Structures are given as structure tokens and as C-alpha cells.
Structure 1
Amino acid sequence: MYVLAALSGRGVVCSSQRFGCKLGVMDVFGDKDCLNSAAFWRHIGTCFPGQTGIDSKKFLNSLSVFKIYGFKGLIIGSGFEGKYDILRQANEILPLYANSLSVFKCLENPVLFFETLKLLEVPFPQVNFSAESFENLGSDWILKDLGSSGGCGIKKKFGRKSKSSEYFQKQLPGTAVSLSFFADGQNFMPLGYSKPVTTKQSNLPFVFLWFGWSG
């Protein structure tokens, strides 16, 4: 049996149950559906008001508990962006089934990411790598962080670039959706589209509340 660790394990653990696959779960929210579907659950969220994230110490301690209970491997979801030292430590406790850490680092390099999109002829909004703040940029620009998830790395009007994974992007009108898919480097198989419901938290205008599956 395997354990899933993520900000929210609900979607994966509920889907896996439909195929007769039981998972252990470590996540932040522990909603009713997740608790009813998980073989075993542990809370790994931060304890600071207004902050949603994974507590590294809780995660590693909980992973050791899952090992004691006979779980054989670790699968990760969102919430581990930039936590590569923690994932290395986790891999020493239970085998980590995920992309290599070098792949994650490549995905968090804005220049490499958008150069790859150009090579693949995938269209994208105008981006700015040289700006350090919103000064001299129009009101239709946002600051994004490739090392984030759930809309927690998107800022508007306020904030300065402080990480190599951040960049400025022109905001376009329209409906935001995301595509989930399987890929092997040559081929991909779409699974479905999600339309996020968002809310504003402090200076974060697009924090995700919920994803509606429409596959």
C-alpha cells in the first residue's frame, strides 16, 4: 500500500477507491470525503493562521508512522514546490515515486520553461523576466511563481520579484482552466479539464478554493 502526501489528497484518494486501490493520505485539510476514503490519514498542515501549507517536520514524522504501518512508497501532489531537501529526506524513509528532483527544478526555471513552449509552438501571454517590481508595468500585469501551486504564487499590483522562479506575465481576459494529462515525453493522454473557483487572500487575488472536474 502507498501513501499520498499533498495539500489536498481528496481527489486522488477518492478516485483510487473507485478502482479498488486503497491509499494512505497525509494532507492539510482532512475533509470528510478524504477521511472516509483513506486507509489511514495524518494531518501535515502548518499551524499559522491565514497560511495554507505543508509543515516539513510534521510531514517527515508522519511518513515514519506510515512506514511503521507497512506502507511501501510515497506519492506526492501539490505543496512540495521548492521543498527538495525535504523530499530527499523523505526518499530515505520510503521510496519516492515521482519525477526526479532535477525535473522539478527545470520546471521552475521561467526562461527554460517559456523557451520550451516556443520550441513546441505553444502560445502564451507576454512575459517579462527583467522587471523587479510592478513599477513601469501596466495594471494588467501579474507576478507569478513557478515554484508554487493553488494560486498562492500569483500576486497583482503589489510585491517584488524575490526568487529565481518568479516572473511577470500579462493578464489576459477569459476563463482560467487547467488540463490534467498523462505524458511520456512523446505522447500525452488528456484526462479532463478543471475550472478553479478562487478567492482573494491578502495580496493574493487568485487562491484556489475548489476545482470542478469536467473530463
Structure 2
Amino acid sequence: MGGDAILIAAQSGRALAEAARRAGLRPYVADLFGDADTLALAEAYRPLRGRFGATRLGGAGALAQIEALAALAGGRSLGLVLGSGFEGAPDLMARIAARHRLLGAAPETVAILKDPFGMAALCARLAIPHPAVTTGPVEEPGRYLLKRVGGSGGSHIRAATRGRAPTGHYFQARMPGRAFALNILADGRDLAVLALTEQWSLPSRLRPFRYAGAIARGRDAAPALQPGLVAAITAAIARLVAETGLRGLASADLLSDGARWWLTEINPRPGATLDILDRRGSSLISAHVAASAGRLVHLGPPPVDAAGAEICYGARDYHPVPRIDWPDHARDRPRAGTDVARDAPLCTLLATGADADAVKRMLRERAAHLQALLDQEETNEHDREVSERQRADGSPGGAPRR
């Protein structure tokens, strides 16, 4: 597949574009941000309209931008990979699929998996533990969460309220335990497990369950959950794959207290862990293309070392983002001069290490270093502006005027 074109549309297309380049493909990308590294990776780029975390990314305009990319690719590509932002709009996916070959889950599969009540019924039939869901009202709101249908990234999750859930939302029962994701490659009949990743959140005042990052343990590390429990989780997700015909890269979000587990949702697309999982002998994007055609490929052994990725959110409003020398471990780098609001995604930080604890420490250190870089550049920029004003006013020596 060397040199073949591949179309990508997502909230952020950088990780998919980078994975495509690792596979020797030429990515044509549409996304919300147009980050500097995305533009450097893409053969061509088109912006999408929408808001990060929305469920109908781009609306009807998304189809037009995908059409434009397909034309730039000469009308010849392996197909189209849809990342986050489309799972809440299977009808839009169907319109896109009528014009382009989708690489990954079919719209009808997404419609099944992202319908919270249909999913709950399916899990009950397949004997898969799943939290209760309702539109309410609920007698004890403290025992439920409010979620948006088709939402992603955790920013849409709130504590439940009294009364009925708003239109497009539902209540899901709270369950104990830590957050994990079973990352898989599926061919519509069976699956291969890529990793069980550990996830964590970074609450903000308005978004208490905001996704922060994930870690994949190294090959020889002790498992995060007991092997028997992982085997039960894997068997359950395999039943879902066979029932729904899920294909391509996907992940199953779950909670576990170490003895029990509950499936909270399926993400029927390449997810936020692509950066830390695409480190084997075989390319995950190539495997995604093959699985979309119903063929599971052997990926080779998992990496020896642990790896993690964490979203760095804006500590303040950056209007605009200062020009800095971005470190090599930073991805999704906003272009200097663009705006990033406080608490909006600023970039993604990557780290590898001997074990999960070492990776978490490195991510903390890298986040602190990046913040120091931003603070220093803002100070430098302020000093330059003051100096320029003083020169224009004829002030000697750059000293502040009294």
C-alpha cells in the first residue's frame, strides 16, 4: 500500500495522519484544528466546522470537504477513515458512505453501538455487565451520571440532575472502580486485543469527567487486571463484535473494581490511544484497512516498554498562542497566532518508560516544562512589546516611562 492516498476526517486528524505516514500512505485530512503538525503531515488539508466534543462534526459541510479532499487525491484512495466526532451522527456517516468507501465501522453498526438503550438491551441479551440507563426522572440523582448520546472525550458527562434528562441525553448508573479501555482490532466476526489501557480524567469546573490520558503497560509488566477478568472482558466484547459486525480499530470503555467489571460504551473508531499503540512491527492503519475488508492481520508482539499520552489543556486563554520551540514529545501543536481558550485542548504529550509509574512521572514533568516554556515566551513577548512602544515614544535605553 506504499504511497496510496487515504482520506481522514475527525475532530483532530493528526494522530491518524501520523499513523498513515508510518504506514507509507499519503493522508488527506479534514479536521477542526489545522494544527501545525497536522498540516506538515497532510498531503492536503480542509477545515471542518463544529465544536470540539459535538456529536455532528461538520454537519453537511463535512461531506463537501471530504469531496474536496477526494478530488485532490485524484479520485483514487484506499478509502476514508472517520475519527472522533462522527459517532453521534450515523445518518451523516451513511451519506458519506454512499460516496466513499468507509474504512472501519459501518454506519448501521455505529447506530447500534451508540444508541444507549439499544446497547443496554444488547448487553443484557449477550450477558455483558452494563450500567442501567434511563431518561428519568431518577429517585436518587447522586447514583447516576448525565451523558450526551454519541458524546466522546468525557467532557459531555455531568452529575445527574432531578427531572428527566434533556433531549439528546440520558442517565447512566454510576459504577465503582477504575477506568480502562480494551483496545481491539475487529473483522466483523472476531477480534485481536491490542492492549488494555488505563485511563484517567482531569476535572475542570464545568467538566468533572474530562478525559486526560491513557497508558499502555509494557509487554512484561504485571497486568492491570487479573488475567481471568481480562479474558472474560475479551470474550464479552468478541460477542458484541460478532453480533454487530464491528470492523476496524475500536475500543471498549469499562470500569472495574478488580473483581467485577461494567462496559460503559464502545468507541467504534480509532481512538485517542493510537499514538501509544501503533508501535509494533505492523502498522495499525494498514491493519485497520485489512480488518475493514474482513481480514485480521498478525501485528507482532506488543512493545517492551510502557507508553502514555496525555492531553494538555489550556491553563489560561491564549489569544494568541505564543511562538515556542515545541518539544519533540508534543503533538497536536497549535499554530502560533491562533487562539486556544482556557480549558480547551492545547496539545498532546507523549512519553515512554520502563513502567506505568515512570511514564506518569515523565508526563507530569513534560507538562510542567511545557507550561514553563509558554509562560516564559509570554513574558518575553510582553517585554518585546513594551520595548517597541518605548522606542516608538523615544524613551532612552528601554527603561519604563514614569
What TM bracket, shorter-length normalisation? 0.7 to 0.9
Aligned partner letter, 2:37? D
1:112 corresponds in structure 2 to: 118
Aligned partner letter, 1:142? L
Secondary structure, counterpart of 1:41 in structure 2 = strand
Kindly report which structure 2 residues correspond to 1:70-81, keeping only aligned pairs within 5 A, or say none: 70-71=74-75, 72=77, 73-81=79-87
Give me the whole-angstrom Cα distance separating, in 2, the residues matched to 1:68 and 1:151: 35
1:33 corresponds in structure 2 to: 37
Larger strand proportion, structure 1 or 2? 1
Quick check: 1:196–1:212 contact (8 Å CA) kept in 2?
no
Deviation digits for residues 85-117 of structure 1 (CA, Å, limit 9, x no counterpart): 322332344333343322222113334323333
| TM-score normalised by L of structure 2 | 0.45
1:83 to 86, 89, 113: 89
1:23 corresponds in structure 2 to: 27
**Structure 2 unaligned runs (5+)?**
218-276, 278-402
Give me the whole-angstrom Cα distance separating, in 2, the residues matched to 1:81 and 1:102: 11
1:208 corresponds in structure 2 to: 211
Kindly report which structure 2 residues correspond to 1:1-215, keeping only aligned pairs within 5 A, or say none: 1-46=5-50, 52-53=53-54, 54-69=57-72, 70-71=74-75, 72=77, 73-125=79-131, 127-129=132-134, 131-133=135-137, 135-158=138-161, 160-163=164-167, 166-172=170-176, 174-192=177-195, 193=197, 195-200=199-204, 202=206, 204-212=207-215, 214=217, 215=277
Secondary structure, counterpart of 1:99 in structure 2 = coil
- Tell me how far 1:201 sits from its aligned partner: 6.3
Secondary structure, counterpart of 1:144 in structure 2 = strand
Secondary structure, counterpart of 1:142 in structure 2 = strand
User: Which is further off, 191-200 or 67-76?
Assistant: 191-200
Secondary structure, counterpart of 1:63 in structure 2 = helix
Count of aligned pairs between the two proteins: 207
Give me the whole-angstrom Cα distance separating, in 2, the residues matched to 1:97 and 1:165: 28
Secondary structure, counterpart of 1:205 in structure 2 = coil
Deviation digits for residues 167-213 of structure 1 (CA, Å, limit 9, x no counterpart): 422242x33222221123442111232524434363x4223354555
**Which of 1 and 2 has greater Rg?**
2
Quick check: 2:144–2:171 contact (8 Å CA) kept in 1?
no
Call closer, same or farther: CA 1:196–1:25 in 2, change over 3 Å: farther
**Structure 1 unaligned runs (5+)?**
none
Quick check: 2:53–2:153 contact (8 Å CA) kept in 1?
no
Call closer, same or farther: CA 1:146–1:14 in 2, change over 3 Å: same
Call closer, same or farther: CA 1:3–1:209 in 2, change over 3 Å: farther
Deviation digits for residues 105-135 of structure 1 (CA, Å, limit 9, x no counterpart): 211333432333344443334x142x524x5
Secondary structure, counterpart of 1:148 in structure 2 = coil
Larger helix proportion, structure 1 or 2? 2
Give me the whole-angstrom Cα distance separating, in 2, the residues matched to 1:68 and 1:185: 30
Call closer, same or farther: CA 1:97–1:211 in 2, change over 3 Å: same
Call closer, same or farther: CA 1:196–1:93 in 2, change over 3 Å: farther
Give me the whole-angstrom Cα distance separating, in 2, the residues matched to 1:177 and 1:147: 19
Secondary structure, counterpart of 2:29 in structure 1 = strand
| TM-score normalised by L of structure 1 | 0.78
Aligned partner letter, 1:195? Q
Secondary structure, counterpart of 2:194 in structure 1 = strand
Identity %: 24
